[in-house]
Structure 1
Amino acid sequence: MPVARPARRCALLLSGALLLTACGGGSSADGGKSPKSSGAVSLENCGRKVTIASAPKRAVSLNQGTTEIMLSLGLADRMVGTATWTDPVMKGLEKANGRVPRLADDAPSFEKVLDAEPDFVAASFASTLAKGGVAPREKFEELGVPTYLSPADCEGKDNSGDGDGVRTEPLTMEAVYGEVRDLAEVFGVEERGATLVADLKARVAKATAGIDASDTTVLYWFANQEAPYMAGCCGAPGIITNALGAKNVFADTKQEWPQINWETVADRDPDVLVIGDLTRRSQTAETAAKKIEFLETNPATKSMDAVKNKRYVLLSGQAMNPAIRTVEGVEKVAAALRGYGLAR
């Protein structure tokens, strides 16, 4: 990891807490409303207290999930970088996203992030703000840059082992809604946060009204052909499954994304395959087209009922992650199950 150039930092150490003074002027445009200019915001975030001296003007988002929340809150003019993309940006956010520099399609270096002179850094995954990721949170905080981690990746989850972690409690959309509210408070746009949460809740209610898929089994394949990542019981796919009353064929594991061999997948023989349609290139079989080609030609999977009957549901990677687009996942899977006659 390249060494940062600390001479470019402009943090102050005040009363034992790292409080940031803005690096550069930046735009304060906020749809006609100015950000809060006084009064620090303090949050309990993933086991630590985070203090932000004033509404950020030079924020960096290191994962697509946090990026899309910020953009949905109308904060593009207060962002100086994004990174780690699995999909095209959410529909309706293209123009706003185009105004924010992309530091990297995948994880940027620590120095690359610091070169953007951020006054706030947010990430969706604990691994991003850890050793082996962009940098541990402490590295940013030593330079006076407060960090924020999505509660959905730390609350009720053990990230201490290998892989993508283990859920100790089932994830719910409340964790995502909490992130929206937190970020809205940090930037001083609480009303926008409340409006966004209300809209997301209304969409879930509409998508699931009267649905009963209790006799239907589903499987979620995120990525990788050789050792595929399938969803366990209790992450974002669990939110989708539970909202529809369906059953995940791998609900017997609390691992977030266990890697499962194809013989076991074929043995579980789900009614529907929910397939990640990713545009990144870090794994094999990222796109839905590549996944379906594999399923329909592989000896272990081509005779599966869902494959023979082409009962596929294509989702963005973000819809399968704990994010505001998990709501998109609920909507699309609900519509597909109704279309396939597998939901009442």
Structure 2
Amino acid sequence: MKSYQLFNWQTRPRLVDVPQPTAGPNQVLVKVGGNGLCHSDLHAVDDLTCCPPHLDIELPLALGHEIAGWVEALGPGVQGLDIGQPCAITIAGCGQCVLCAQGWNNYCRSRGKQVGMGLGGGLSEYVVAPVSAIVPLRSLAPWQAAPLTDAGLSSYHAVKRVLPLLTPGSSVVVIGVGGLGHLAVAALKAICAARVIVTDQRPQALELAISMGADLAMLSGDTVAQQIIDATAGADVQAVLDFVGMNSSIQLARQVIRPLGHIVVVGRGGGSIDFSPHGLPHGACISSTFGGSKLELMELLALAEGGGIACHVERHPLSQVDAVFDKLRRNEILGRAVIVPDDH
């Protein structure tokens, strides 16, 4: 089968022919129907920030962790799935710890290697996944579902974190309307009554945000904090979702958040915050996230299958994956790029 594999750290992966994997005990072989490209893949290749040393990742390794497709084969011990069934792949927790018991498989401290993050990934024609990571699809095509497994799920999880604050009359700011941010806008408009304000440095990203339902769109710059304050009549905002994560975006969030508000930093832009009792308005908080839970993915997929949310997708064949990664490096992808088999 064809597989886009990383042979040496910080070198360009190559599309090569490798043997088709087989499903072991409690595993599922999935025929890949779509794999969303993520900046985390670039980090894994370019600067290793998505490859924790304790995982002892072995090369070569197929990249790709936003995966959906069809069940091709069941390993020993797997029940409840049918051959040919469409499915998505999510984060697998250990299944035994308190966090997993509470439904937070994404925060499991023993989750170990994941598909595309230490285990063979979805930039291949076939991939093996733990059965606990499989989420069945109904009407959604795999290429539509693939970017929801990470970009969509991370955005949806961030929205759910602040949802209790987003009552009628409230405002929420989305900083950065890229692959994740545009899905946060769609999720916000689908499940809450808050006014959605977005900011980005790219006019085309703001246009995409408006098409997803954003109420106000502002070019980022020195005056954007005051523009947001003016737009809310000086009342500030109940929540900020930061999909950039740089010092400048975190500072913007601090400038506009109200007392008892919540800033969620999803982006991995390398920014930081110096905590002090006066660093935020009284009662306000700032938090980080990692992905989302399996239950939240089920909710998100149901929302998408009902037409409540959709990802802006560019589809590209697996044979062109090198060129698409270069577009991602140059920040030329609007929405999400999804790699599909050459025969689709």
Name the TM-score, length of structure 1 as normaliser. 0.33
Larger strand percent: 2
Q: Higher relative CO (CA 8 A, sep ≥ 6), structure 1 or 2?
A: 2
Name the TM-score, length of structure 2 as normaliser. 0.33
